[in-house]
Amino acid sequence: MTPHVIVVGLGFGDEGKGAVVDALCARGPVTTVVRFNGGAQAAHNVVADGRHHTFSQYGSGTLAGVPTHLSRHVLVEPVALATETRELAALGVPDPLALLTVHADALLTTPLHIAANRAREDARGDNRHGSCGKGIGETVWYSLLTGHHPGETVEHQEVLGHPGPAPTVGDCRNPTLLRRKLDTLARFYEPLIGAGTHVDDLIHLYTAFADAVRIVEGDHVGALADTGRLVFEGAQGVLLDETHGFHPHTTWSTTTPRNALDLLRGRPARVLGVTRTYHTRHGAGPFPTEDNTLPFPELHNDTGVYQGAWRTGHFDAVLFRHALACARPDALAVTHQDTPATHLATAYHSPTGPTTTLPTTDSRHLRACTPVLEPFTPDWFDHLDIPVEVTGHGPDRTAYNVRTPTPA
């Protein structure tokens, strides 16, 4: 069987992962798209057969008829999922929930997490981290608090109350347990967001959610992998990774292939790294090659209330090499090849002198770097020691070409 494919972004996100996953699924055969990180903050655009959808929690193979599995590494937001289900049904996808499975151990993102996330970001003022305001980091942070007490500091945030076990998708099948966890969660966040959230309403919503979706347990990904080819769809990009990104402008998520490889448990897979022909960043954080005069139109991204402005810049080979070292892809997908990129940064002038590598992931160091720009040639990617297996020359599925991988 053709090895499974793990799709990861090699930038700050928005590389075109959704369109690449859709192209792979349209070519087939693909049994399931597995989401392996992130949550409802994902925004993966697919344009196919006259339809456009921005995928958030459903896999980007849905318009090609491929089912989605939300793995235990995904943060699930049922209210947003219900909205996305209605949107897909309006596009003509028959019974979208029938295409979905969700692992019982996946963490729940609730309105309490979202409100806390936005309150913290609002309090930062001009020092915002660039959060999407979807509660992702807050969901992960709360899950780390077991055994901690008020006044302690966990991941640079003070524990304000008495935490309890984090609510999961599986809890939605047990209203008594769910109520206990949500009551504790609501009391915990009262010092930050007040007491305006009605837990009774959430109990009703989440038990209805459990009745509507297929919740699975155990090694569900292993069972899927043994019956057909899987495509693992990553969210965000390696340059935002919780370990390899530039703090504090990072995500509370593992954006490298690590989670997907963990789910596969040694089964063969190829890692496909996705990059544009230029770099982008949505929101705050260092961006050495940023150039707001570049004539790069953006159809599906704009300034976000919490995330901040949409930013573009020249291709950055220094950041690209850093991403390659973190993700270790077997092949590349190069998107937006219809955009006339003209220059790339081959090196930086840094506080410690000229460099072609990153000695640190400290945001302050990266902010102090200025790029050394050289002409960008259209065949630049073809001269790397890594094959280009997917190319995209526009937003529509028909603009994507998937090449047969070269045998190892």
Question: pLDDT at residue 16 above 90?
Answer: yes
Domains belonging to the chain, first-starting first, are 4-101+219-402 (3.40.440.10), 107-216 (1.10.300.10)
Query: How far is CA 340 from each of CA 275, 284, 390, 393, rounded to the nearest angstrom?
Result: 15, 25, 18, 11
Tell me the pLDDT tens digit for each residue of 358-407. Answer: 888 888 999 999 999 999 998 999 999 999 999 999 999 999 999 987 65
Task: Write the burial class of residue 87 (CB in 10 Å: 0-12 exposed, 13-18 middle, 19+ buried).
Answer: middle
pLDDT for the residue 194:
87
pLDDT for the residue 181:
97
pLDDT band (50, 70, 90) for residue 252: confident
Contact 373, 345 (CB under 8 A): yes
Concerning whether 14 is annotated as a catalytic residue, the answer is yes
Question: pLDDT at residue 127 above 80?
Answer: no
Q: Annotation-wise, does 18 bind a ligand?
A: yes
Concerning whether 53 is annotated as a catalytic residue, the answer is no
pLDDT for the residue 407:
59
274: which strand partners? 9, 333
Q: Annotation-wise, does 236 bind a ligand?
A: yes
Tell me the pLDDT tens digit for each residue of 62-121. Answer: 999 999 999 999 999 999 999 999 999 999 999 999 999 999 999 999 999 999 989 888
Query: Is 222 or 132 the better-scoring residue by pLDDT?
Result: 222
Task: Compute the average pLDDT of residues 244-257.
Answer: 89
Contact 297, 272 (CB under 8 A): no
Question: pLDDT at residue 149 above 80?
Answer: yes
Q: Annotation-wise, does 298 bind a ligand?
A: no
pLDDT for the residue 408:
52
pTM value is 0.94
Q: Annotation-wise, does 285 bind a ligand?
A: no
pLDDT for the residue 250:
84
Query: Is 208 or 284 the better-scoring residue by pLDDT?
Result: 208
Q: Annotation-wise, does 68 bind a ligand?
A: no
pLDDT for the residue 297:
78
Q: Which of 44, 103, 279, 282 is catalytic?
A: 44
List alpha helices for 38-134, DSSP H: 78-90, 111-124
Percent of the chain scoring above 70 in pLDDT: 96
Q: In what order do the strands lie in the sheet with 214-216?
A: 214-216, 100-103, 68-70, 32-35, 230-237, 4-9, 269-276, 331-335, 388-392, 400-402
Question: pLDDT at residue 266 above 80?
Answer: yes
pLDDT for the residue 130:
60
Q: Give 298's DSSP letter.
A: -
β-strands 68-70, 32-35 pairing: parallel
Task: Compute the average pLDDT of residues 304-312.
Answer: 76
pLDDT for the residue 306:
65
